[in-house]
Structures are given as C-alpha cells and as structure tokens.
Structure 1
Amino acid sequence: MIDRLVILGATGDLSARYLLPALAALRANGDLGDRFELTGASREDWDSERYRQWVTARLDRHGGDLPADARAAVANATRYVRADVTSPGDLASAIAGEGPVALYLALPPALFPVVITALHEAGLPEGSRIVLEKPFGENLADAQGLNRLLAELVPEQAVFRVDHFLAMTTVQNVLGSRLANRVLEPIWNSTHIAEVDIVWNETLALEGRAGYYDTVGALKDMVQNHLLQLLCLVAMEPPVTLGERDLRDRKVDVLRSVRLLTEDDVVRRTRRGRYLAGRVQGRDIPAYADEEGVDPRRRMETYAEVELELESWRWSGTTFRLRSGKALGTDRKEVAVRFRSVPHLPFGHTGEPLPNVLRFGLEPESLTFDLTGIGAHPHTLAPLSLTAQMAPPHLPAYGRLLLDVLNGDPSLSIRGDEAEEAWRVLTPVLDAWERDLVPLEEYPAGSEGLPPRPCGGGQQRRGELLYAEAAPPADAP
C-alpha cells in the first residue's frame, strides 16, 4: 500500500468536498495508518500551517459527521507546497520524499497534457500511480494523445482514470442484482427487455461552476463517462471474476458493440437543450445564457439525450437511452430497465398492458420493482411497487476509489482503450452537434425538461416509464 498522496489542485472544490472527507473516512475505518502523508500542491501563497487550517475548516464543513480524531489525523498528516503544476521543478518539490507516491490530478482536464509532460521531466519514483478525473480528454484524438503520454511515464496498471459512479453502492448493485439472482440473468436480454433508461436529471443549476461546465456541457460532463459506464454494467456479459482484467474486458466489449450513429440517426435519436429562467424548489434561476461566467456564443447544452443500440446477440432490438439535464423541477437519478409487455391479458382489460420496470435508484440509493396487479375496479389493472432501501455504504464513493488507488487495484478505474471507445461512441454526436444538425432546444428551469416529441395517436413518449392506474371500462360499476 502506498502511504503518500499528493493532490495537485489541492485547494479546489473537489478536494474540499470529496477527497478530504474520503481520507477522513478511510482513517476512521482504519484503512490509513500513522505513516500516511498528504501533500497539497496549489498556486496559493500559503505555508503548511495555513493549509492545515484550510483542511480543518473544510473537513468540519463537509465531513462533520466523521469522528473528530479522524479529521484531526488527516489535517496533521498534511503539508503544503506552493506550485505551478506545469513547472517540472515545482512538481519535483511536490512529490519529493521517500518511496512511491499516488499523484491525484484534481485539475481541469485541459491541463492534463501539459502536467503529464512536465512530470516526464520531473520524474516519478518507481511504483508511483497517477489519478485523473473525468472527462479524459475532450475528444477521441485527445484521449489517444493522453494515453500515449501516460504510457511513456508509468505502466497502464498505474493509471487510474477514476469515475466515482463506479464506486457507488447502487451502481455496484446493478451487477450484484444481475449476477447473484438466478431469476434475473436468464431474462436479461432483448427477448424480455424492451428498453433501458439511464438518467441523471438534477435540480442543481450551475452553482458557480460555469468556468468548467461552459467548456464541457451535459454530453461530455455526464453522458460520455458516467452514463456510458452505467450502460456497460447493465449490458456486459457476466465476467469470470470481478478482477480488473475480466471486469474491464467485458466493459470494453459493450462499448465496441455500440452501433455508431449516422448523421440521420443523430438527428432522430439525440436531443440537446438548455434552460431558460425559472424557479427551482422556490429559488429563482436565471437563464443559462445569463449565468455568471457563461459565454452564450458557445451554445453549450445543459440537457443531453442519446439513444443507442448494441450490435450483439444479447441486446439486438433493445433501446438504451442515456440522458442528463440540469435545473429541472425534480431529481431523477436512476437506471430503469423496462421489460416487454406480456403477450396476452385474460382480464378483459382494454388498455395497454403495464410494463414491469426494475429501477436502480442512484441518489438516494434504492431498488424498486414495478409490477402489475388487479385494481380496485373489476377488470382493471393497477401498479404494485416493491421497494428496498439500500444499507448505508461502508465508505463514500471517493473513499472506495482512494483506497483502491493506494492499494493498487484498478478494477474500478477506466482502462485506456475503454476511454477511447467511449469517445468513439459519441464522436458522431459531437460532430453533428458542432454543425448544428440538431437544434438547441430550450426548457424553463424548474420544468421536467424538453417537451416530449410527438409519437402520433396520442401515445405517451417512449422511455418515460411512468405508471397510471388504468381507467375502468365504461360499463364498470
């Protein structure tokens, strides 16, 4: 286990909200010993004492539920180095010490190439590891270039392209539910599953993150990484083990099986939009174009939706719909697996059969199975929902990721070829959106997002996965 962690960009929001509380959680759990050292490197003109005060304040704010002695231990194990992260000399000072180091790039992804190039000159102790946050590059060519730079610096096994979604309990439970229950795996295919909605819709707007978000947008921020990773776990073949090679091989298989969208497909099967002014949970939200730090000329989207198909024996004929939006009226964060309707109903019911839906709630974490039973009126059907709340996670998602980094287990990180395949899937969408082949629609903040596309015949839009008790027939008492 490596006992030295260096965070580049150590005074940023990622460190304050997630990395520091995760380290305190590891300490409270007994996973970090007294030999552990944390080095924070950033451009602020601070010394180590000033940084410890900042760490203590952030831990009190974002990790106040953790034991005080664990928080104090993390703060006391900290030193600070003022550094220009593009300077080889400054980087050499940050990583100075005995033994290998885990180097966490808590930086804007645009800085990754120049920082990695500087690390080539600074040098890394043998056995060191590098951690990078998503998105990994800005396009396929960027990802390929980063992979080449990293390959010259450290072995692939030492590169951790982390995605904290993979460490969330419910995300892990997608595999657990599939592979540990005989009742599910035999019907986990296109014969029985019509479509899968992978959704991360949130009430949060920009919340001061325009500097990052306005250069990325919903497609790159959520769909290209988080939601494609969820697609992999839903659609992958059962791995021989959950070891890093078997698990990541099967995820790459899924991405390779995605049928690339043509221009016509992109027009028909993708949507993009951004929010107008509105009210979200009692708060006035300005239009995205009027948010501080936003350049309206970029026409950046805050809502993205993509429909994909897999060219594989198991999934041919099933639609996978990935979507994410900001400043919406309600949070909806789930994987919803919609099974095909039964072939015949003997109840005299005249409406459409209600589908069974298995929902993996991501935040809050839950598992719900929507079934159908007899309604209050004769010859009618009504929804039945079986819900299980998940036990609190043993560690927060970032705690699990950091523990894997320090222990050298890359199972939950993204392999280099996997990162490239994810960009390959979305390259046709990015190209078409760049040329405005898909209109940038608008929706009021606080609404449910883009209005449904007309389906004809008054039918509800596919993919909403909503239930309503069937109305009784006209001759019902």
Structure 2
Amino acid sequence: MNIRRLVVLGGTGDLTGRYLLPALAALHAAGHIDDRFTLTAGSREDWDGERYRRWAAAQLERHGADLPHDAVRAVTAACGYRKVDVTDPAEVAAVVAGDDPVAVYLALPPALFAATVTALHEAELPHGSRIVTEKPFGESLRDAEELNRLLADVLPEQAVFRVDHFLAMTTVQNLLGSRLANRVMEPIWNSTHIAEVDIVWDETLALEGRAGYYDHVGALKDMIQNHLLQILCLVAMEPPLTLGERDLRDRKVDVLRSVRRLTDADVVHRTRRARYAAGRAGDHDVPAYTDEDGVDAGRRTETFAEVELELDSWRWAGTRFRLRTGKGLGRDRMEVAVRFRPVPHLPFAQDEDVRPNVLRFGLDPESLSLDLNVVGSQVKKLTQVSLSARMDPPALPAYGRLLLDVLRGDPALSIRGDEAEESWRVVEPVLSAWERGLVPLEEYPAGSDGPPRRHTPERREDLLHQDAVLPQ
C-alpha cells in the first residue's frame, strides 16, 4: 500500500533541509509522488505553516538547485507545520491524526527515540502506517534492544524502517551486482584469494557546526557502527536466494553474527582513535577539534576511528577487514578496496616488487577500478595499470530511494531489528575499552593523512602469517 502522508518529527533540522526535502522534490520530478502527497513537519519552533514553507523553499534553493522548479514548488506547497514536543503523547497524536495511514520519520537525536516511540504508541497510528528511524539506532546494545521492544508494541517489524542511506547508494548496491552477476568474480570472492578489504570513509570536511550532534557521538558511532558495518555485510555476505527483504537481511545478519568478538587485547592492537588538531585543509585553516564551537574537550570525542575485524566463517577465515573513517583529513577517500593475495609464483626478475591486485569501488564519486600487473615497455619487467569506469549517475538520490521504499512499503534496504542489535554487539567491546583508556586518543594535524599507523611486532607477524598484503 502506497502512503501519501509523511510526518517528519524534527522537521526543521539539518537532515530535513539538506536531504529529505530535496529527496521529495526528486521523487515528484520522477513522477513517484503527486499533488495529493502532503508533508507535515513537527518541531519545537513557534512557527506557522507559511513560515515553514518559506524555510523549506530556502532549503530547496540551497540544496536542490538542480531540481526542476515545478517539483520544488509542488513540494513546498505540500508542506504544513505543527509545533510539537515529541515526548508529549497528546501533541504527537495531534500531529499524526488522520484516517489515512501515515509514515512518521524520526529525524531526531537518538536520545529522543524511545520517548517519541512511546508517544506514538499512545497516539494509535492508523492501520498501514510506518515508522522511520535514523542512525544511530540507539546509543548502545541495551538501548537498541529496548527501542526494538517499544517499536514492536506500535507496529509490526515490516512497518519499521531503520534507514541507512548508504544502502541506497548506487555503488554500494553494485558491490552485490559485481559479485553476483559476473562469473569471473564470485569464484575468487573468498579468503583463498582476498587478503584484506579496506572500507574507508575519509573526509576533508571538519566539524562544520555539527558539534551538537557529533560531540556526543564520535566517529565510531557516527560511521562505523552503522554505515561501514552495512557495507561490510554486502561485501562479505553469502549469495542470497533473492534480493527480497527476508533473504537479503538474513544474509546480512549472518555476517554480523560471524564477526569475531574483540577482546581487550584485540582492541589495543587492532583499533585506533584520534582527533584532529589545528591545521590547514585545502585553502583554509582548520581549528583544533577541541576549539570548535560547542565542543566539550572533556568528552574526548574521536574524529578518526579504525577497527580491524575478522569473520569466523568458511568463506572469510584469514581475511582482514579494516573499517576506517576520519574528518579533517588531507583528501577525500570514500571507497571499498579489495586487496588480492599474490600469485604463488612469478617468472619475473623483480618478483618482490609486484604490487597486489586491488579492486576499488568508489563510493563518492561513484566509480569502479581494478589495478592489474602487466608487462611494460621493458621485456620481462612488470608494471601496473588501472582499468577504471565511472558509473552512471543514479536516477534518484540515496534519500529519494529510501523514502520511495518507505512510501511503497518495501523494507529490503532498511535494517531489521536483530541486525541493529548485532551491529552494536560488534562495536561495544571497542567502546568499552576506549572508555577505560586502553587505547590512547591520538592527534593528527587537520589536512594530514591521519594519525601515523602503528606496526607492533605482534601485529606485523600476525598479518604476515596470514599471507596478507601489508598497506603501502
């Protein structure tokens, strides 16, 4: 059943202005929603509908300048507004009231999810309604379990959309396409042939005024616990029977369950955390993270996080998966880099200099490349070439695809309740060890490559024992 009524709680926030409103305009331009669609925004500001429509128009002009004017005007006209305390059941009930089913989008800080879901329970949503939650889903495993219990009291699991816009990115989905639709790929997609997989989201962007959210979350919760673990699932999952919601999500949960739990010793040797100091990124100076407006230095929030994981499964025993993210770095690098093991024998003079084959899925911009060793201009001398392709631009932005799935009722690209809990199970040992100070909080100058990599003897020996290719 298609839904034509969307309520966004937190409707004046950055998420709504930067992503949701442009996504709705893109859906209108593509013919997926029409003039019967309505959007009601709820927030704390003492606004009326006209004030909100002016705000929405300004956001669309800023973040959707390339969208058709007719679509922008239609979405702006569809907007309404209600002042609401999202923890007050009576006020929430007034916002969602109506006979038709409604999709309620919680564009809120995670700390408000439980109280808001409780209020929605008392509001008694119309039959066929749906709830959408943003990441991170709770703030710990215990939070996620409690939130799942609350949501189960309101709506059935298939009506709950725990969205992660990374899953709607074209290149992320092409991870599955490259594996499952190409005969040459799947037979070598295992630890026999793959030494390491790097899943990286490095940004030159620094805090940019997001201290109110980011300083309470940090890089590990903001990126690795959800986005990068979701990509890990698509890289490592067994081929599903179909791409339907049950088969796809079952296989993703299998991956998360197979992640070997990190001990304190593992966390010390296989994780890093750091925050940026003052530096220069591109053509502008960047203040130290602790000098950014709204930052509490006492929280010791990390802006860089790296975690190395191993999977206890037949396919992946012996392969390292490295998940890394950072802000204020010297270059943007958003990719999945699959490093293959060396061939068993090379009849060339400089065998020791041969570089590994690397298959790269560029996430932003979307691209695909493969590094291959070939014979160069000198006889019997190898060189490396890169075969690359840029992907066609997606028909819809990632949030447009997610909203379309919500409105149509297709949960395949949303995160199931047990999957959200398993993601927390993976990172909780890291959070615990970091909170106890077992891993130092390093610093790196803004505009650099991040903190220097540590190579302890134990770690190098372990990698070499697994025949992995050490990073250059």
| TM bracket, shorter-chain basis | over 0.9
Match of 1:60 in 2: 61
CA-to-partner distance for each residue in 1:253-293, whole Å, 9 max, x for gaps?
00000010111111011111111000001111111111111
- How far residue 190 of structure 1 moved from its aligned partner, in angstroms, is 0.3
Count residues with an aligned counterpart.
465
2:200 partner SS: strand
* Matched residue, 1:101: 102
For the Cα contact (< 8 Å) 1:279–1:446, is it kept in 2?
Answer: yes
Q: Any conservation in 2 of the 1:342–1:353 contact (CA below 8 Å)?
A: no
2:324 aligned residue = 323
Structure 2 counterpart of 1:275: 276
Q: Name 2:73's counterpart in structure 1.
A: 72
**CA offsets 1:417-473 (integer angstroms, 9 cap, x no match):** 0000000111111110010001111110000001122367xx9x987755xxxxxxx
SS of the equivalent of 2:352 reads: coil
Q: Within 1, Cα distance between the matches of 2:438 and 2:62?
A: 45
Amino acid at match of 1:18: Y
Query: What is aligned with 1:152?
Result: 153
Whether the aligned pair in 2 keeps the contact of 1:16 and 1:59 (CA below 8 Å) is yes
Matched, 1:117 2:112: no
| Aligned twin of 1:130 | 131
Deviation of the 1:119 alpha carbon: 1.4
SS in 1 for 2:6: strand
Aligned to 1:307: 308
Query: What is the Cα deviation at residue 77 of structure 1?
Result: 1.1
Counterpart residue number, 1:25: 26
1:199-348 alignment, distance < 5 Å: 199-348=200-349
Secondary structure of the residue aligned to 1:189 is: coil
8 Å CA contact 1:333–1:363 kept in 2: the answer is yes
Structure 1 counterpart of 2:15, one-letter code: L
1:412 maps onto 2:413 in alignment: yes
Match of 2:285, as an amino acid? D
Q: Distance in 1 between matches of 2:15 and 2:471?
A: 34
| 2:43 is the counterpart of 1:50 | no
Q: Which residue of 2 aligns with 1:91?
A: 92
AA aligned to 2:260 is R
Deviation at 1:126, TM superposition (A): 1.4
State the distance in 2 between where 1:191 and 1:410 align: 34
Alignment of 1:451-462 (within 5 A): 451-454=452-455
Partner of 1:473: none
Report if aligned partners of 2:356, 2:469 keep a CA contact under 8 Å in 1. Answer: no
Partner SS for 2:154: coil
How far is the alpha carbon of 1:66 from its aligned partner?
Answer: 0.7
2:451 aligns with: 450
Amino acid at match of 1:194: A
SS at match of 1:300: coil
Q: CA deviation at 1:26?
A: 0.2
**Distance between the aligned counterparts of 1:97 and 1:189, measured in 2?**
52
TM-score by length of 1: 0.95
Task: Give distance in 2, aligned partners of 1:59 and 1:453.
Answer: 45
Give the SS at the match of 1:385: strand
Deviates more, 1:305-314 or 1:83-92: 83-92
Question: 1:375 Cα deviation (Å)?
Answer: 3.3
Deviation at 1:175, TM superposition (A): 0.3
Q: Determine the structure 2 residue equivalent to 1:362.
A: 363
Q: 1:200-239: per-residue Cα shift (whole Å, max 9, x none)?
A: 0000100000010011000000000000000000000000
SS in 2 for 1:413: coil
1:110-168: CA deviations, max 9, x gaps? 11011111112222111110000000011100000000000011111111000000000
**Distance (whole Å) between structure 2 residues aligned to residue 58 and residue 140 of structure 1:** 35
Q: d(CA) in 1 for partners of 2:266 and 2:48? A: 55
Give a deviation string over 1:276-326, Cα, whole Å, max 9, x none: 000001111111111111111111111100000000000000000001001
Q: Which residue of 2 aligns with 1:372?
A: 373
The AA in structure 2 aligned to 1:171 is V
Q: SS of 1:90's equivalent?
A: helix
Q: CA RMSD in A?
A: 1.6
Query: Residue type of the partner of 2:348?
Result: F
Identity over aligned pairs, percent: 71
Give 2:399's aligned residue. Answer: 398
Give the AA of the match of 1:26. Answer: L
1:81 is aligned to 82
How far did 1:352 drift? 3.5
In structure 1, runs of 5+ residues without a counterpart are 467-477
Cα distance, 1:96 vs. partner? 1.7
**C-alpha deviation, 1:379, in angstroms:** 4.0
CA contact (8 A) 1:338 1:465 kept: no
C-alpha distance in structure 2 between counterparts of 1:141 and 1:453, whole Å:
33
Q: Partners in 2 of 1:269 and 1:158 — Cα distance?
A: 38
Match of 1:189 in 2: 190
Deviation at 1:373, TM superposition (A): 1.2
Is the deviation greater in 137-146 or in 366-375? Answer: 366-375
In structure 1, the partner of 2:437 is 436
* Structure 1 contact 197–463 (Cα < 8 Å) conserved: no
